[in-house]
Chain A
Amino acid sequence: MLDEIRGLLTVVLKLGSRGESLTKDSELLGSIPELDSMAVVTVINVMEEQFDVEFDDEDITADSFATLGALCALVERKLALQ
């Protein structure tokens, strides 16, 4: 999951090698300049497609996007609900 989300963020945000070096504890929102409001929506859209899930308002919080690990946990929670 970590690899998939890392890969997804690297592609969607065009992070290049910066993306490849993201770890579970790497901070996202606030630390990655490319992750602006439009990009958050794009990331959500792409994750929905990639994992065939649907996110609600409650899912899209600053906490969910705080770190790579938090984002992975969000997706895993969604998948577990199916």
Chain B
Amino acid sequence: MTTPAVGQDATVRTVAEYIDGPECKLLVTRFRSPIQTDSRRTVLCLPPFAEEMNKSRRMLALQGRALARRGVSFVLPDVRGTGDSEGEFGEATWEAWRQDISSIVDWLRIEGGIRQIDVLALRSGVFLGGDFLKTTGIGPKRLALWSPVHSGRVMIDSLFRTMLIRGTGGVGVNNVAEVRERIAAYGSLEVAGYWLSEELVRSVDALDISDMQLASGCQVLWADASPATVDRVPRKTEKVLRSWASGNVSAEYTRFVGPQFWMGPEIELIPDLLEKTTAFFLD
């Protein structure tokens, strides 16, 4: 194993190391404090999809540092084919990524002696948790969701739409249905710099947050971030939270008026969201 790279400020150590995933090496970055309040506990980040992750790295790193400064370690993984992990994005499927996360959970438990893993999921990251999210014991007692994606299909249609508006869909591609037809015909398509295989698109299409089950007793923070200034919980979110409540999952809905930092040309931040999330995990 390569020597881990260590960065250091006054209180936080950032350690990046490669671990053995199910099929290739995965880069895991950990933010730790020398003064751990509980070394058996950590917060695992479930990252967003494709370019959203690149745009969000700074926000997530700041969250990691904020938690580590308060004695709670934070784990930021690159699933296969993303970031600095091995593997090809074009060969990934959602299930493969779930298995990567699963192997990281095992590694934390076995190598890291971790007994309890809380979760911060950004956007579609929530779907990377799989069965782990409803696992009691080592599974999350606290789950923070930042602007979770309701539907994988809607998320990926939005990506296709961007491509169409940019005029990069190719000749004869006029709408989302035709983009999908093209992917089916060719087996894959490059969208905004990422090779989307037909299998990956199919696995993303199947993602729906209303199918998600969490462990009884889990506490959820659902934090939507956007420039919209609504003062009510969106109906479809209300439905999900009600369904979770019937499974003894308590949820707090909150929203932050600010940039959708996982998109857009510039790296943007929402400091209040960091503060709220830190307080949530420390509670």
Q: Which residues of A contact B (CB under 8 A)?
A: 7-8, 11-12, 37-38, 40-42, 44-47, 49-50, 52, 54, 57, 60
Contact = CB atoms under 8 A, between A and B. Distances in A.
Contact of B161 (A7, A8, A54, A57): A57
Contact of B227 (A41, A44, A46): A46
A49 B234 contact: yes
A49 B162 contact: no
Nearest to B192: A38
A57 B177 contact: yes
B230 A38 contact: no
Interface stretch (B86-94, B260-268, B269-277): B260-268
A44 B260 CA distance: 12
27 contacts: A8-B228, A12-B227, A37-B165, A37-B166, A38-B162, A38-B264, A41-B158, A41-B162, A42-B260, A42-B263, A44-B158, A44-B161, A45-B158, A45-B226, A45-B260, A46-B226, A46-B227, A46-B228, A47-B228, A49-B226, A49-B234, A50-B228, A50-B230, A54-B154, A57-B161, A57-B177, A60-B165
Interface of B: 154, 157-158, 161-162, 165-167, 175-177, 224, 226-230, 232, 234-235, 260, 263-265
Nearest to A13: B227
Nearest to A82: B235
A52 B161 CA distance: 20
Contacts of B158: 41, 44-45
Given A41-B158, A44-B161, 12 more contacts: A37-B167, A38-B162, A38-B264, A40-B165, A41-B162, A41-B263, A46-B227, A52-B230, A52-B232, A52-B234, A57-B157, A60-B161
Contact of A11 (B161, B227, B232): B227
B51 to A, nearest CB: 10
Contacts of B157: 57
B24 to A, nearest CB: 32
Contact of B228 (A37, A49, A54, A57): A49
Contacts of A40: 165
B176 A57 contact: yes
Nearest to B167: A37
A7 B227 CA distance: 10
Contacts of B167: 37
Contact of B229 (A42, A50, A57): A50
Contacts of B230: 49-50, 52
Contacts of B162: 37-38, 41
Contacts of A52: 230, 232, 234-235
Q: Top 3 A-B pairs ranked by shortest CB distance?
A: A37-B165, A50-B228, A49-B228
Contacts of B265: 38
Contacts of B161: 41, 44, 57, 60
B232 to A, nearest CB: 8
B165 A41 contact: yes
A15 B158 CA distance: 24
